[in-house]
Amino acid sequence: MTEATTLSSAVDEPAVTQKRWLRTAIPGPKSLARQARRDSAVPNGIGTVLPVFVGRMSGGIVVDVDGNQLVDLASGIAVTSVGGAHPAVVSRVHEQVDRFSHTCFLVTEYDGFVEVADTLNRLTPGDHAKKTMLFTTGAEAVENAVKIARSATKRQAVITFGHAYHGRTLLTMTMTAKNAPYKDGFGPFAPEVYRAPLAYPYRWGTTPEQCAHEALAALDDLVVKQIGAHNVAAIVIEPISGEGGFIVPPPGYLAGVQAIANAHGIVFVADEVQTGIGRTGAMFASEHAGIVPDLVVTAKALGGGLPLSAVTGRAELMDAVHPGGLGGTYSGNPVACAAALGVFEAIEQDHLLDRAREIGELITRRLHALAAECPWIGEVRGVGAMQAVEFVVPGTTEPSPEATAAVAAFCHHAGVLALTCGTYGNVVRMLPPLVISDELLEDALGVFADACRSLS
């Protein structure tokens, strides 16, 4: 991919040049003209990072309706990891939609569903017997992982962590850590959800080893003393917290969490909705930590832009639910399954796991050099093509959401689509599509560096 400067697609238009290119201010006049209609038709409750309307996506480029070419460092929040219109996804989607778009797997069956399940059973960590159930959204899959764990253990309590994000439905919103904007005013929340502190090395104030040790002691206390281990159905954790700030836990921590779960017959669930399907340079982030979750939750990049999610896990757990206990009208929609098979094909054909690691190395090299000259950068962290910068008030560890917002705005106006995240709103994250070229990435990182230099 690195040598490619243009990418063609099925759209009957010239290929999109893989170059950042601004014709107008961002947002441009055509986006602005659409905004009034959007504002009157769509509620204020849905915020938009960058109010530009998109006309096309190709490789590492998002083309807006004004013809501006933005560098994509978002991938629609870690969804279009193989690009927004990868030929392997596009052709399979076309082929499937020409045949049929839906049957409901609860009514009649189709091959794509079983093929995606088989593939996830093969690719997820561990060589034990596994089964997969498909759903539509990440939140729905997390909810179902909890249902499966409760059904299998006959227990009710669910443990989640500080800085966690698991979705916006009642249960997953309850499991999510941050109040605003996700939970504020939406209570009462679901019962039997407990929260342990997350090992967050940068903010723990000790060595990483001590951080892991103390956070595990707190989890053990919660399980054994506060809830009672025999009441705990599941421990649910993101191997790297996504919305919470791309928090990479210290070595040994995730294995320690798994050990506590295993010791008490608690179902250990990895929420790999943001980290999974190649993002971190391994198919699953769990692999970096050497953990083997009982259940793995995937979504986002799985469907390559079409809504598809999954719970994959130990066959005996998955089969603990009574027939008819799992379902959903759109669960494992055939077009979304076709897209997922295209995603798996693209990852293999384009060597995108290797590419995610290369992207990670390139970004880390540039960001560490930048951190040495920019006092607003508190920490650079991430794994593979999931990298972030935490911004602080210079000379302190006090979060600076202001600097973060300023850097993001600078990038947006220069045509680089970067996202923020973090419990304190002080993290800029980079989630480029894995098909982005080195040249485009270097260009975007140059803009990011200029944005950091403009602080002070």
Place of tokens 């200029």: 450
SS3 377: strand
The CB-of-33 to ligand PLZ minimum distance in angstroms stands at: 26
**What contacts 8, CB < 8 A, 6 or more positions away?**
15
SS3 52: coil
Q: CA-CA distances (angstroms) from residue 91 to 224, 281, 283?
A: 52, 25, 23
Cβ proximity to ligand PLZ: between 243 and 390 the closer is 243
**Binding positions for ligand PLZ, rule: CB under 6 A:** 77, 137-139, 142, 165-168, 238, 242-243, 271, 273-274, 299
The CB-of-430 to ligand PLZ minimum distance in angstroms stands at: 15
The CB-of-449 to ligand PLZ minimum distance in angstroms stands at: 27
Cβ proximity to ligand PLZ: between 9 and 275 the closer is 275
The CB-of-242 to ligand PLZ minimum distance in angstroms stands at: 4
Helix (H) / strand (E) element for 378: namely strand 377-383
The CB-of-442 to ligand PLZ minimum distance in angstroms stands at: 27
User: Which residues partner with 267 through β-bridges?
Assistant: 234
Cβ proximity to ligand PLZ: between 148 and 392 the closer is 148
Cβ proximity to ligand PLZ: between 363 and 431 the closer is 431
DSSP letters of 3-34? T--EE--SSSSPPEESS-B-SSSSS-HHHHHH
- 280 closest CA partner among 246, 311, 303, 257: 246
Cβ proximity to ligand PLZ: between 53 and 182 the closer is 182
The CB-of-49 to ligand PLZ minimum distance in angstroms stands at: 10
Quote the CA–CA distance of 193 and 137 in Å, as a whole number.
21
Cβ proximity to ligand PLZ: between 64 and 243 the closer is 243
Cβ proximity to ligand PLZ: between 68 and 274 the closer is 274
Cβ proximity to ligand PLZ: between 166 and 203 the closer is 166
Angle at 333 between CA 330 and CA 336, to 5 degrees: 135
Quote the CA–CA distance of 51 and 49 in Å, as a whole number.
7
Q: CA-CA distances (angstroms) from residue 34 to 27, 38, 52, 343, 412?
A: 11, 6, 9, 32, 18
The CB-of-139 to ligand PLZ minimum distance in angstroms stands at: 3
Which single residue brings its beta carbon nearest to ligand PLZ?
Answer: 138
The CB-of-431 to ligand PLZ minimum distance in angstroms stands at: 11
The single-letter DSSP state of residue 131 is E
